Amino acid sequence: MGQIRTYQTDYLRTGSEQINYKRFDSDGVYIETVDDNILINCPTDVVPLDRSLQKLYDKPLNKVKFTSTLINYNPKTSNSQFLFDDEGWVLGTGGLNHTAATVVEDTNYDVKALSVNKFLTASGSLVTADIIKTKLSDTTIRQSLPIIISFSYYIKDNAIPPFTTIVGDYRFDIRAKVDASGDGSVDHIYNFDTDEWEELNGQSYNYQLLNNETGKWVGFTKTIQPFFYRNAQGGLIDVFDKEIEISISYPNNLDTSDQTFIDNFSVSEKIESNISKITNVRERFSYDSGYTGEYETESIMSNELKNNIGFFGRIQGNYKRLRDGAGKTLEAIITQEIINDSRDHLTKYEGDFRNVGENNVGLHNKIWVDFGADTLEEPVSCYIDAMTFNVKRGDYQIRMHVPNQDDDYPTTYKSIAE
């Protein structure tokens, strides 16, 4: 067993714990490296209030299990919830019987967005005009993969009950077109009757979505056949990604005052895989008996599946700590660190605190519980697990734990694909 903790305690007594952060802009371009002192001292910087500080112990862990479930689609639209307004979309323009489509916050509407606080809305009716479509240059698909079209819609009848302006069904028309040649204009269209792609020569095909539901969100999903760009002999002309245009029309049979709302509009590739999930298990050796604690978590992300190009949640690259001689997967490292922390009873703290220091407390900070070596002094600083800040009272509710970063505890590690 190494004595890394001894060196950590000596370092903390110097009054700082420096961490280097690499800062990137929104496009992923490196800007600078920031050297930051993240150490917060309790009780010098944060003071426990009203005897609320509690010291807790969790039992040691025998096994840690990470399960990643593969989702069977790969989203190709990056702004499905309209968080970035009309980025990636072409919105419908207004006319005699319908208004221009706009992306708005739901603050001033009694209809609320499904995912964040924005949706697309327009009023009126014209089934031959598009209320929204994907921007061709921003939406690409791979050949040979089925395409999933999905969105949610809400029709608001603005007549005063018990009256209505909508009699019978309303209809959306959905169209799918592809730019196969790469010249920036669509040249193939999907025939929803034959479920085939055709070269575009002036014909028009659409899928008619009929409904009579009003006053509620309705979900819709439609899978269409893969696109193949073939020559006269049936061979693939090329295998490159193709730009696709999926459009939704204004509904018909609505009054000019009736409103349409669209949310969660996405175009995805359907992925077929011979596995549905991967489970990564780290466990103490069988002779290390007497412990029964287990920790389990689930995710849609995985570094173990970094070479599976069909898996949307794959995390690429190899990773290692300073102590590691070779690169490892994130799952291998994280499960080892959890076992390390819980090799014995895990020490945890929770309570209410008042910040009397010069710096704000954030989740990136670490808190050293240090009431003096003769009273209570933890050998290392705590990681913050959860934190709530009450603006009115000016105090924090914090949950944290004491890590154990001594030498890696002996374990076995395996990944199981199912």
Strand blocks (E) in 254-328: 259-270, 277-284, 293-299
Read off the DSSP letter of residue 99.
P
Distance CA 409, CA 72 (A): 36
Distance CA 119, CA 374 (A): 59
Distance CA 242, CA 230 (A): 13
Of 183, 195, 185, 179, the residue nearest 147 (C-alpha): 195
H or E stretch covering 413: strand 411-417
Please give the full DSSP string across 176-224, using - where no structure is assigned. Answer: EEEESSSSSS--EEEETTTTEEEE-SS----EEEEE---SSEEEEEEEE
Strand blocks (E) in 306-394: 346-355, 366-369, 382-390
User: Cβ(277)–Cβ(173) under 8 Å?
Assistant: no
User: Cβ(72)–Cβ(271) under 8 Å?
Assistant: yes
Q: Tell me: do 326 and 238 sit in the same domain.
A: no
Burial of 340 (0-12, 13-18, 19+ CB in 10 A): middle
Q: Tell me: do 52 and 182 sit in the same domain.
A: no
Note if the pTM is more than 0.75. Answer: no
Averaged over successive runs of 10 residues, the pLDDT of the chain (418 residues) comes to 71 88 85 92 94 94 92 89 95 94 94 93 95 95 90 90 81 96 93 94 94 95 90 67 95 93 95 86 82 90 84 86 90 94 94 92 94 90 95 92 90 93
User: Cβ(203)–Cβ(186) under 8 Å?
Assistant: no
Q: Tell me: do 264 and 281 sit in the same domain.
A: no
**Domain end position, chosen among 270, 303, 334:** 270
Q: Tell me: do 81 and 50 sit in the same domain.
A: no
* Phi (first) and psi of residue 107, to 5 degrees: -55, -40
Distance CA 249, CA 162 (A): 28
Give the CATH number of the domain where residue 171 resides.
2.60.120.260
Q: Tell me: do 165 and 106 sit in the same domain.
A: yes
At which residue do the structure tokens 């995985």 appear? 302
Q: Tell me: do 258 and 287 sit in the same domain.
A: no
Range of the domain at 111: 74-270
> How many domains in the chain?
2
Q: What is the pLDDT of residue 1?
A: 44
Q: Tell me: do 63 and 80 sit in the same domain.
A: no
> Across-strand partners of 176?
246
Q: What is the pLDDT of residue 231?
A: 67
Q: Tell me: do 325 and 379 sit in the same domain.
A: yes
Distance CA 194, CA 101 (A): 31
Q: What torsion do the CA atoms of 267, 91, 194, 181 make, to the nearest 10 degrees?
A: -80
Number of CB atoms found within 10 A of residue 250's CB: 27
Q: What is the pLDDT of residue 3?
A: 64
